[in-house]
Structures are given as structure tokens and as C-alpha cells.
């Protein structure tokens, strides 16, 4: 009876530390559970696991898809809280550092043999790889995330924030998967080229978004993109924004272009084609910069720009003047 009263008082007072056993400490706050010194036979107990929940209190009433976020932890609590109001999923964050990823095989064994079974046993997560996403930030984290994406029956999606040039080092899997990448213009250009080369179509296979500073960790985890049927994220149309409608032949000006991809379920993301059709061929498209520049020998007139893909299509024009 004394133990029951002690436990109840701690809950009512909002106590942070619930129990300690085998060097593991569980810290409960509304919407998240943190396991300091999470015990693992594979990686030891030097890491913290934080499980961010889509409901404020346990036990959870629903069942949810799962995202495993490499590199995050309790410090991202405020960002996670705002994210969870818009995206209903369970996010398990492990506070790895870049140096931890040097031993890819050890991390892979931990995630696939210990972490995923633990989460599936203790939380109401939906079964199947199609309901699981692996996510990371930075190039080292992206390498680890892509390595885990290649693991059999582990993850059906990958979310990468600022992956730099990870595509040259880790092969993409042959199995179906969905990818979401946030980053700079150059990072998105590299990502689109690599993902299209792997046979993925924009929308049903991948989507891109320019990074926002306020969503560094959770900005690449849109449940509305990952966990919906494939037909709902099909690409339906493009829209184009340009910084300039006219360019001078003599001033060396540039027109910066942003192409927006509109998906069937109403989501809008960024599209960075590696090539554009320019007629007459008076402009050069620099995908990593998102810029059109005038080529030597160009003449005054109107230039029509179209995508290389056939459907859906778009057209916009820029006037060249002396």
C-alpha cells in the first residue's frame, strides 16, 4: 500500500523520475518518455532513448506509424511537441553522435534486433516496414539512415535533413521505398538526380523541401506524405516562381527559379530538375543554384522554358532584351 501511495503522489506532482533499474532511468513528461542509459547488449548503456508520443498520456488509445530519429533526444522536446500536434506518429529518438556511425554494422544490429522489437512490444505501433521511417540529419547520419534503409524488412521510408552529398557513398535499395529530403538548393538538386536515377518518381517515390531553420530535426518527417496510399501522393501539377521576368543580354543577370510540385492530397513541395528544355537555347539552367543565366550569342526575344518530363508539364517564359 505504501508503494502505491508513493507512486501515485509522484504522478500527481508531475515527478520526472519514475524508476531506476539496471542503470536505466525512465523520465516521464506529458507526450514523451525518456530512457537514460538505455540498456543494450549490442551498444551498451551509454545512449538515451526518447520516445515522443502523439498523445499526452499513456496508455495510448490509438495505433500509430513509427519513425526512428537518429541523433535527437530530450533537447528537441519543444520542437517535437509542436511537430506532434500536426503529425500523428510515434517518434523514437536515439542521441547518437556522428562518431557513433563509424561502426555501421553495430548500429544496424542494435536498431533491427533490439530497438525495433522493443518499440513494437511496448508501444502501439503499426506493423510492417511500410509503417516505419528511418530519419537523420547531416551527412554522417544520412549514411547511417540509408544503411538501415537497406536492411531487410526494417524500414519502408527514409527522411534526410541536410544530407550533403551522401548519394555518392551509399547505394539505394532495390526494394520499393519512399524518401523525403530537406536541404539547400544544391542538396535538393543532388537528391533529385540520385533518386530519379534509382527509378523513383517524384511524389510516389520521393519529395523535396527547402530546409527551414526552425525544423532542423523534425521538419523532414511529414506523416501526411509518408503514411498515406501511394496514389494520394501522385504528382498532379507544377507551378513556377521566378525572380525575374526579363534579363538583359549585357548585364550578366540571373533569374532564380523555384518550381513547386503539387501532390494529389494537397501537399506542395519543391522540385529541382537536373535539366530544363529551353527554346531557343539562350539560357543555361544551373540546378544546384536554381538559376537561369544568359548564354553567349543569345539574341533578344522571348525564351520558353519547359521540364524534360512529359507529364505533368509546365511552361514559363523569360524575355531577353538588349
Cα separation, 252 vs 244, in Å, equals: 13
Rounded-to-integer distance, Cα 230 and Cα 247, Å = 40
Lowest mean pLDDT segment, chosen from 82-96, 185-199, 213-227, 283-297: 213-227
Q: What confidence category does residue 214 fall into, taking pLDDT thresholds of 50, 70 and 90?
A: low
Q: Average the pLDDT over 41-55 and give the result.
A: 93
Mean pLDDT of 219-246: 94
266: left (phi over 0), alpha (psi -120 to 50) or beta: left
Largest CA distance in the chain: 90
- The pLDDT of residue 125 is 96
Looking at residue 259, its pLDDT comes to: 96
Number of residues assigned to the chain: 322
Q: How far apart are alpha carbons 44 and 74 in whole angstroms?
A: 19
Q: What is the C-alpha end-to-end distance of the chain, expressed in Å?
A: 89
Predicted confidence (pLDDT) per residue in 99-116, tens digit:
999 999 999 999 999 999
Q: Which three cell numbers stand for residue 66?
A: 513509427
Give all domains of the chain, ordered by start, each with its CATH number. 19-233 (3.40.50.1820), 239-321 (2.60.40.10)
Q: Against a cut of 0.95, is the pTM above it?
A: no
Distance between alpha carbon 291 and the CA centroid of its chain, in Å? 25
Amino acid at each position: 500500500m505504501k508503494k502505491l501511495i508513493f507512486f501515485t503522489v509522484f504522478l500527481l506532482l508531475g515527478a520526472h523520475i519514475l524508476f531506476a533499474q539496471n542503470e536505466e532511468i525512465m523520465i516521464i513528461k506529458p507526450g514523451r518518455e525518456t530512457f537514460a542509459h538505455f540498456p543494450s547488449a549490442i551498444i551498451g548503456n551509454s545512449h538515451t532513448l526518447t520516445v515522443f508520443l502523439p498523445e499526452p498520456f499513456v496508455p495510448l488509445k490509438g495505433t500509430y506509424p513509427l519513425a526512428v530519429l537518429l541523433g535527437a533526444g530530450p533537447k528537441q522536446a519543444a520542437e517535437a511537441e509542436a511537430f506532434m500536434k500536426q503529425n500523428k506518429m510515434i517518434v523514437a529518438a536515439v542521441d547518437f553522435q556522428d562518431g557513433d556511425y563509424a561502426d555501421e554494422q553495430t548500429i544496424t544490429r542494435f536498431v533491427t534486433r533490439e530497438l525495433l522489437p522493443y518499440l513494437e512490444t511496448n508501444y502501439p505501433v503499426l506493423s510492417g516496414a511500410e509503417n516505419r521511417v528511418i530519419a537523420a540529419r547531416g551527412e554522417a547520419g544520412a549514411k547511417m539512415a540509408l544503411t538501415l534503409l537497406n536492411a531487410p524488412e526494417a524500414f519502408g521510408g527514409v527522411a534526410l535533413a541536410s544530407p550533403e552529398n551522401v548519394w555518392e557513398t551509399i547505394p539505394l535499395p532495390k526494394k520499393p521505398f519512399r524518401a523525403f529530403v530537406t536541404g539547400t538548393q544544391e542538396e535538393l538538386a543532388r537528391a533529385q538526380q540520385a533518386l530519379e536515377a534509382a527509378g523513383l518518381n517524384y511524389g510516389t517515390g520521393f519529395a523535396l523541401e527547402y530546409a527551414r531553420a526552425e525544423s532542423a530535426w523534425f521538419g523532414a518527417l511529414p506523416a501526411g506524405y509518408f503514411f498515406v496510399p501511394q496514389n494520394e501522393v501522385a504528382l498532379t501539377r507544377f507551378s513556377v516562381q521566378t525572380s525575374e521576368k526579363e534579363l538583359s543580354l549585357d548585364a550578366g543577370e540571373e533569374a532564380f527559379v523555384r518550381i513547386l510540385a503539387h501532390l494529389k492530397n494537397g501537399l506542395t513541395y519543391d522540385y529541382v530538375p537536373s535539366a530544363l528544355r529551353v527554346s531557343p537555347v539562350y539560357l543555361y539552367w544551373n540546378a544546384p543554384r536554381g538559376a537561369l543565366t544568359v548564354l553567349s550569342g543569345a539574341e533578344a526575344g522571348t525564351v520558353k522554358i519547359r521540364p524534360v518530363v512529359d507529364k505533368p508539364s509546365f511552361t514559363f517564359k523569360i524575355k531577353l532584351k538588349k
